[in-house]
Structure 1
Amino acid sequence: MAVSLGPSPARRDALTRRIRLLVAATIAYNVIEAIVALTAGTIASSTALIGFGLDSVIEVSSATAVAWQFSARDHAVREGRERTALRIIAFSFFALAAYVTVDAVRALTGAGEAERSIAGIVLAALSLAVMPFLSSAQRRAGRALGSASAVADSRQTLLCTYLSAVLLVGLLLHATLGWAWADPVAALVIAAVAVKEGRDAWRGKGCCAAPAPTRPDDPCCA
């Protein structure tokens, strides 16, 4: 059975440029998101908002790792950097899971009560609209290129979408019904998802739905 050689050089270059653009957009948005979330969270004493802001910082580190990988012009150099980028992304997931878990447990044990935050609600709603688009676009490009790191980073962005939904629901329930426990309980579920995604990134999984890899031992399908 013939083995597909993957995308042509011209197609590969086009996909690489697209990933660079999407990663740059993700970094720019998350920098703004982190500043707004950390500021609003500090003002409202909201551990959920502060955690969301720190998630944005972690996502910037993940996207930066992918940007570093794809900054190389030579395809062989980019492939050599893939494993390092995946390790950074995996550690980012684990760090996020650890923080969210600790923060959720603190919230459930009554370590301070947050004030209502309209700015946080607006930010969560905006992120819920923006992040799925960025994640989907990067995942498609990463799979077409056969890049496990690009796909893993798109999962990090998708996780931010889940966190945006959790944050939005939590802030709305707290603002309208006073249910302060709703957000930390949902956050624990997100932490479990983050651990799974971190394991997948560590193992190089995530892009096997792409065309067959260029090498039989490609870590993309390990």
Structure 2
Amino acid sequence: MSNLNAVSRQTMLRRGFALEYATLGWNVIGIAVLAVAAISARSVALAGFGLDSLIEIGASTVVIWELSGTGEDRQRRALKLIGVGFTLLALYLLVQSTWVLATDFHPRHSPLGIAWTAVTAAVMFALAAGKARTGTALNNPVLKTEGRVTLVDGLLAAAVLLGLVLNALAGLWWADPLAGYVLVYYAAREVKEIFSGGH
């Protein structure tokens, strides 16, 4: 149970909104950057990371909607919508990683992709930590859960970055889809937790 007084709660709510709007803005810009990088490098991984940014935009929108209101019903609906986002992310990663490995697909090098995913990983980890702290202070399971979506976004950025760097430096094109399988497991675990009611 939260022991925040009304003033502290309002401060935390404002912080929650600020974190979500920052995530939203970053990912909107990211879709444009990733589209340019993915097309120039013919990179399935970068195109897929753009899809992940769309899921993150959806999750942030859900949390902004939930923070604007109150009630258990709204929280349950918001958590389910985030769970759907995780499900889509896990399915996408599973299909993309399998397709890349099966077709022996070799993307070109992408300096823009490397730069963007490196900065994005750092930004997402910082935002995820802020959401975890703020969600705990507000006793808000939706904000805490969406913080885990942001964490997955950061992990995916790091995985894509690792794949791009290994491809650029050592020609190890298969590193990225292998990292994708690790994230499939993580996302699937979150889906199970959300839909079993254990947040």
Band the TM-score falls in, shorter-chain normalisation: over 0.9
The 5 Å alignment of 1:15-164 reads 15-72=12-69, 77-110=70-103, 112-164=105-157
Gaps of 5+ in 2: none
1:151-195 Cα deviation digits (max 9, x unpaired): 010000001111111111100111111111111011111111011
Q: Please identify runs of 4+ aligned residues in structure 1 that moved more than 4 A.
A: none
TM (norm. structure 1) is 0.85
What is the total number of aligned residue pairs between the two structures? 199
TM (norm. structure 2) is 0.94
Q: How far apart, CA to CA, are the structure 2 residues paired with 1:35 and 1:81? A: 32
1:105-133 Cα deviation digits (max 9, x unpaired): 00101253211111100011101211111
Aligned identity (percent) is: 36
Gaps of 5+ in 1: 207-222
Other structure's SS at 2:27 match: helix
Q: How far apart, CA to CA, are the structure 1 residues paired with 2:145 and 2:2? A: 22
Judged with a 3 Å threshold, the aligned counterparts in structure 2 of structure 1 residues 204 and 62 are, in CA distance, closer, same or farther, namely farther
Q: How far apart, CA to CA, are the structure 2 residues paired with 1:94 and 1:24? A: 23
Q: Which residue, out of 7, 11, 14, partners 2:8?
A: 11
CA RMSD of aligned residues (A): 1.4
Residue 199 in 1 paired to residue 196 in 2? Answer: no
Q: Select the structure of larger CA radius of gyration.
A: 1
1:175-222 Cα deviation digits (max 9, x unpaired): 11111111101111111101111222334444xxxxxxxxxxxxxxxx
Structure having the higher helix fraction is 2
